[in-house]
Amino acid sequence: MPRWFRIWEKKRGSRRTVSRVVATVGETFFFSALFFFGVIFTAMTVASTVLQTWPIRSMFPEVAYIEGECTILETRVVVTGTDEYPHYEPEALVQLELADRQFRAWTLRRSPISYTTQQAGWDRLNGYEPGWIYPCWYDPDSPGQSLVLERTPAYGLWVIFLVLNSFIVIGGIGLIYTLLLMGTSVERRSAIANKAKTIELLKDSMPSANFPSIPNDANLTNSPGVRLAFRLPIEVSPGWWLLATLIFSLLWSGMAGVFFIAALGKHLSGRPDWLLTIISLPTIGIALAAIYQFLHEVTAHTRVGPTGLEISSHPLYPGKEYRVFVTQAGKMKVKRLRIVLICEEAATFLQGTDVRSESRRVIDQMVATARGFEIKPGMPFEADYQLKVPEGSMHSFKSDHNAIHWKLLVQIDAEQMPQLTRSFPIVVYPAELELAR
């Protein structure tokens, strides 16, 4: 069995340490299953209730009842049970007048009620006078068999909704919590706790008033590193893509569940809607594909692990050297890992009535390369490199129509996986500001 799937990490005496990867994957799949189950079946239950189709109509027939007017012709108390333990059921003979037919039935509620004394049964019928007209409820498909004077509260339906919503809440909170903590090392949490008090809320390295278009680096220096001063934020977090995949799969699965319930209800009622059935089949197929893609993303995200990039100082200045520290966790055999310094120019302009945006990479400088190594669970790849910003480079800039972006790219080529690229934005200030400090 491959190492990535082993359940135990190590043995300490008579105790064994559970594999963190297996535990994370297991928690993610468990909470994902709860969340998907809750959302999909909630959507199907709502659709079945609104459309009055199977299975809610079979479990709670009175959701399909409509209100009418009935005349009470006679009342009685029926003796049931045994001679030793008799029970008394109150009933009323009601008459329902419809446009094409007349219906009569002895009834009170769909679920019969009984009492231990005859007097209690007659007391239950107080208020129902023969010859008077009262509201009644019935199933339009079978009025004679479903006629009732009192509707039974559908408490069971509310219990189903409560249970399904609890699945959504528990699964959603657990899934978010697991994804947020996925790959967060103990050292990283310790560094945040130890250095949080030393972070200045207002930095004195703000751009000069002579350079109002230089981006502020406050959002890039508010996270302490483990080895170096700052941990750079990732530009597009894999967690956000995972969340987007989850949301799409949930919304589409809910819609597919509604179509499935509606089409199935038509078939069970003997009035199949083939157009709805044809539409439902590819919708369900896309829903299954979306769920598979989400589970695949979870597996890949867990296997690749987080990428961390720390830097010794920020902001950066042209011609200066800095240290960068990269960490890559997961379980994979890496053919090549590269760190690249990128500078891009972006412009937004009008072409006729269209707004267009174009970008061009003006600097593509190799910072470091590592080849032929294996990353194992609990043993991330770590390396320290030197970074130098080219002299005479243009500083970071942003205006309404033009921008200059600097970033560090970490590119990973691993076996049996597509190339992984993660981007970390940085800010380069003019050399004049560095001299003025």
* Three-state SS letters, 349-365: EEECCEEEEEEEEEEEE
Is residue 39 classed as helix, strand or coil in its secondary structure?
Answer: helix
Q: How many CB atoms lie within 10 A of CB 429?
A: 24
pLDDT score at 128: 93
Residue 396 · residue 215 · CB < 8 Å: yes
23: tokens are 């535990």
pLDDT score at 187: 52
What does the radius of gyration of the chain's CA atoms come to, in whole angstroms? 34
Which residue, 317, 312, 369, 364, is CA-closest to 339? Answer: 369
Specify which residues 428 forms β-bridges with: 316
Residue 314 · residue 229 · CB < 8 Å: yes
What b-and-e string marks burial along 231-242, b requiring 16 or more CB atoms within 10 Å of the CB?
A: bbebeeebbeeb
Which residue, 274, 262, 270, is CA-closest to 44? Answer: 262
End-to-end CA distance of the chain: 59
How many whole angstroms separate alpha carbon 305 and alpha carbon 374? 13
How many whole angstroms separate alpha carbon 31 and alpha carbon 61? 33
243: tokens are 């969340």
238 backbone dihedrals φ, ψ, rounded to 5°: -60, -30
How far is residue 383 CA from its own chain's centroid? Answer: 34
Helices (H), 52-110: 56-59
At which residue do the structure tokens 């231990």 appear?
Answer: 116
pLDDT by 10s per residue, the chain, length 437: 344 445 445 545 555 555 566 667 777 778 888 888 888 888 888 888 888 777 888 888 888 899 999 999 999 999 998 888 899 999 999 999 998 899 999 999 988 889 999 999 999 999 899 999 999 999 988 898 899 999 888 888 888 888 888 988 888 888 777 766 655 555 555 555 555 545 444 444 445 455 678 888 888 888 888 899 999 988 765 566 777 787 888 788 878 888 888 888 778 777 788 888 888 888 888 888 888 888 777 766 666 778 889 999 988 999 999 999 999 888 888 999 999 999 999 888 877 777 788 889 999 999 999 999 998 877 889 999 999 999 988 989 988 889 999 999 999 988 877 788 889 999 999 887 665 55
Which residue, 204, 197, 314, 298, is CA-closest to 242? Answer: 298
Which residue, 212, 231, 215, is CA-closest to 223? Answer: 231
pLDDT score at 32: 81
Rounded to 5°, the CA angle 419-423-425 comes to 170
Which residue, 222, 219, 220, is CA-closest to 196? Answer: 222
Q: Residue 381: CB partners within 8 Å, gap ≥ 6?
A: 326, 327, 328, 329, 334, 337, 370, 373, 375
Type of residue numbered 72: I
Burial of 407 (0-12, 13-18, 19+ CB in 10 A): middle
Domains of the chain: 3-53+160-185+237-304 (no CATH), 61-153 (2.40.50), 306-436 (2.60.40.640)
How many whole angstroms separate alpha carbon 313 and alpha carbon 320? 11
How many whole angstroms separate alpha carbon 169 and alpha carbon 34? 9
Q: Residue 153: CB partners within 8 Å, gap ≥ 6?
A: none
91: tokens are 């009933």
270: tokens are 């003997």
pLDDT score at 437: 57
Type of residue numbered 332: M
Residue 309 · residue 188 · CB < 8 Å: no
Which residue, 184, 101, 93, 188, is CA-closest to 147? Answer: 93
Which residue, 147, 48, 167, 159, is CA-closest to 107? Answer: 147
- Helix 238-268 / helix 274-304 crossing angle, nearest 10 deg: 150
How many whole angstroms separate alpha carbon 407 and alpha carbon 167? 41
**Extended strands (E) in 55-123:** 66-81, 86-97, 102-107
pLDDT score at 318: 92
Is residue 368 classed as helix, strand or coil in its secondary structure?
Answer: strand
Give the chain's length: 437
Helices (H), 81-134: 118-124
